[in-house]
Structure 1
């Protein structure tokens, strides 16, 4: 079928609707293109740098759908029509990302709800049923992949009200199908089954809007497309560089064992005036790093330690993690947040300048995602830095304690032998 919205006339209409929205939106050209593709009913696979506005593909598509649904005269000739009360189901991997996106969608005037184990339980305690609300309410349903396997979700799909209005399936951080879906969280590998369970649209599967900063050609992209049922010719790949030229990348060799309890190479973070996030592969390692820095901070006579050093991981209570997120998003003072991978995707902090990864990485994509947390707001943070602290390994490094890499695309960069 020939495109209707992915045309000069269609893109002009999209930009006009977004500019007339309250608050007004001025999309990038590539965002307009992605929205046009989605409106035409084609699945979209979009990959670009962290902080480049991938959330806009979900939000702007819904805003235009709602505008056309309210005023059908806006629809272009022979173009797709939309439900009067359209809904988009967006699968998000972490609670931090769910809450962060909800806040952003709320600012755009979209009715967003988060459905995960914590929010469902909290709502039930207040005699509120989030699943029932989704029958007719909430245009953006942000959901964890585990909730897609529950009886409540099956019941939601069985309702006529919801089936009539769900029109797109969104998946943010879609690369996790490859990196997490194989072992860590196998529910990601089941996302393709969810698509087949959603109501059909125009005689086929509901179109997908899938985004990530890291969709490498080869096995990662093949597995993503295979899982989601995206065949060549059935979807549009929108690929832009994931290069973050503003981030300075520094590689340092650890002088202490990663299994120990002392990390003197990280003490400089206590004296830094910048906000720093330290990523550790395990909760245990994160606790040991935080405990060491806490002890050193007390020895230095530093005050307000509970706000200076924070832990973010899945063992913390929801309220503590939410408090940490709020602290990260609103605190302009120097701080250290020690986190696991649950904070490595999608979360945006306007004040974080330094990102540190401790220990070996699974692949280069993991590093790209983690360092992408730095310098998200260029008006508040200048010259963000990313540090990779690796354990000493024979044959890989020559013993120097640090090496600064040129600032170039880490997706194409290889960990070269230090010189």
Structure 2
């Protein structure tokens, strides 16, 4: 058995790019709190603000609209909880929160918390069989009583099946009623063209470790005139909506990674599509009853680097461990709680049965992926599926 590791879980986290490592390492050797007024503090502040400008340019927004956070989860929570509290304080009728049924748990768990503790009325908007938000359902929900909607949230692209969401249509439905729209663009930045100003959204989440930056830093890009209530209090950093000492080294690496990912996006996406298509077609050819989830390979509504495949008669976690033993690292794409695999809420929302929602694997490609990784999957998947099916029949 080869000792080589074939990493195909870039949607979970992708290796830090060399340029970001250099930026992080350089800052780790220097001191200074960016909130301090002495020379070291001013130098650190300069790094933070230059990084903010770099990120703003890459994401088509103003520097003052970039609020640094510890990552995507915090940014989603700030947008949803902070936005809900601010809107409801202005008008107590605004209790409805509309989100797509296939959101990441950073969004779903945040809005369900609001329902349990803050009186929010959460509506999960359905998707089609490919995992794409149903705009007619969203529009109907808004039009039923627009004055009661606090905010709308839909991801830019799904982290499990790779379906790209109609963000422009969501904005068009919400804008006439001045309803704020948040989008979790964690999977989209660097994979698709993403522009904050052009999109028309009011808040956008981005995370460094999904695009070649370090874990533990991200941002909520948010319009200056959108009121947010802080969810953490302290020194008043980041427009007084996200207190806490800023991690200068991480922010420097984040900025480098974002700039590079956006600059290389078109070339990267094309290479990912070619690898993904090769992987999907060869796996479907060699494994009976294997099938693709999400939009078709030639659809513009699919992320270039995600292949979500179902294998009838198997358990996804069994496939995962069998592949891992062969040096192939991927994901089931399903939530896991207390060590017990749960059926994917994304696949359930797409109309799959519980059994169908358990027999899938997500192969996600990134900047280190090669044809050798695809070859390794194709060579292993047939015997692995046969073994998993036999084990289930036993």
* Coarse TM-score class (shorter-chain normalised): 0.3 to 0.5
Structure of higher RCO (CA pairs closer than 8 Å, 6+ residues apart): 2
Which one has the bigger helix percentage?
2
The TM-score with structure 1 as length reference comes to: 0.35
The TM-score with structure 2 as length reference comes to: 0.36
